[in-house]
Amino acid sequence: MTSTVQETLPISGIPRTGLPAHAIVVGDPARAAAVAGLLDDAKEVSYHREYRTFTGTWQGLPVVVSSHGVGAPGALCLFQELAEAGVTHFIRLGTAGAIRPGVGDGDLVVADAAVRDDGVTQQLIPAEYPAFAAPEAVLALQRAARAAKAPYHRGVVWTRAAFRPGFLPLPADAYERAGIAAIEMELSALYVFASTRGLLAGGALVVDGANADELVDEEATGGYDPHRAVVADGVTRGARITLDALRLLAAEDAGLPAQRTP
C-alpha cells in the first residue's frame, strides 16, 4: 500500500511547503484577518482551531499573517509549523501590559529580549539559555516606528504563562525596579525557538493596560479592558510598522535600498 504525505501540517492546517519567508504572528484570529486586510492580494489559506493564516503582499513583499492563540505552548506549535512551511523571519505583533513607568496605553514596545516565564521553553532547553530578539529585527522595528512617528519604547519584556494572578506572589515589584517594560504571554517562546533554529525573530507589543497593580491585584485585573480606541489605534499603527519592518529586513537581506514604493 502506497503511503501519502499530507499536504497540510497537522496542528495549524497550513500548507506543508511554499509559504513566504516573512511572517507576522498574532494572538487573535480576528487580528490576523485585520492585518491581512492591509495587504494586497490577501487570501486565507487555513483556519484550524486558533490558527488562522493568510498570505498576501506588502509593498511588493510576500508575507504570511498567522494567529497562534493565547499562551506559549500552543504558539510554539504554530512557530514550528510555519518554519517547516518555509518561514525564516518572524515578528510577533501582540498586546502587553505596561510595567515600566512612562509606557502608556497604545504605545509600542519593541522587545530586545524576554524573561522566560512562559511555561514551555523550560521543558526544551536549560533555564540559563536567553530569550533574545535578532538585532536586525529590533533595529528594523525601531526604524519603522520612527518613520511612522509612533510612540515606542525598547526594553526587556516578561513572558508569563498565567494570565491572572493566583495564590503565589509575583515578582512584579522587582521586575519594575529592574526596568522590565511590559508583560505578555508568548514572545520568549518565539525567541528561544528562532534562535535555536537559526531563524530571525522580533517582537512589537502594543500596550493595552498601563497599570502594574493589575499584575498583583485580582480585582484590578478583573477591570482590565483592552477593547478601547487607544488600543485599537495602536494595533493598527503597530501592524503597519511591523509590515514595514519586514520589508526593511527583506531589503537588507537582498542588499537593496529599502525605499517605500508609492
CATH no. for 22-253:
3.40.50.1580
Q: Look at 18-27, 91-100, 203-212 and tell me which has the smallest mean pLDDT.
A: 203-212
Q: What dihedral angle (degrees, nearest 10) is formed by the CA atoms of 41, 32, 106, 162? A: -160
Q: What angle do CA 230, 190, 157 make, to 5 degrees?
A: 50
Q: What is the pLDDT of residue 221?
A: 55
Q: What is the pLDDT of residues 145-181, one digit of tens each?
A: 999 999 999 999 999 999 888 898 889 899 999 999 9
Domain coordinates in residue numbering, the chain: 22-253
Our measurement of the distance from residue 87's CA atom to the centroid of its chain's CA atoms, rounded to an integer in Å, reads 14
Q: What is the pLDDT of residue 260?
A: 45
Q: Is the pLDDT of residue 1 over 50?
A: no
163-169: long-range contacts (C-beta < 8 A, 24 or more apart)? 163/70, 164/218, 164/221, 165/215, 165/216, 165/217, 165/218, 165/221, 169/216
CB 237 within 8 A of CB 229: no
Q: Is the pLDDT of residue 214 over 90?
A: no
> Per-residue pLDDT averaged across 184-189, rounded?
97
pTM: 0.92
Q: What is the pLDDT of residue 165?
A: 83
Total number of residues shown for the chain: 262
Q: Is the pLDDT of residue 121 over 70?
A: yes
Q: Is the pLDDT of residue 218 over 60?
A: no
The residue with greater pLDDT, 52 or 172, is: 52
Q: What is the pLDDT of residues 225-241, one digit of tens each?
A: 888 999 999 999 999 99
Q: What is the pLDDT of residue 224?
A: 77
Q: What is the pLDDT of residue 222?
A: 59
> Per-residue pLDDT averaged across 200-220, rounded?
75
Q: What is the pLDDT of residues 53-73, one digit of tens each?
A: 999 999 999 999 999 999 999
Quickly state the pLDDT bin for 18 (edges 50, 70, 90).
very high
CB 140 within 8 A of CB 202: yes
Q: Is the pLDDT of residue 89 over 60?
A: yes
Q: What is the pLDDT of residue 8?
A: 95
Quickly state the pLDDT bin for 254 (edges 50, 70, 90).
confident
What are phi and psi for residue 51, nearest 5 degrees?
A: -95, 105
The one-letter amino acid at 158: W
Quickly state the pLDDT bin for 125 (edges 50, 70, 90).
very high
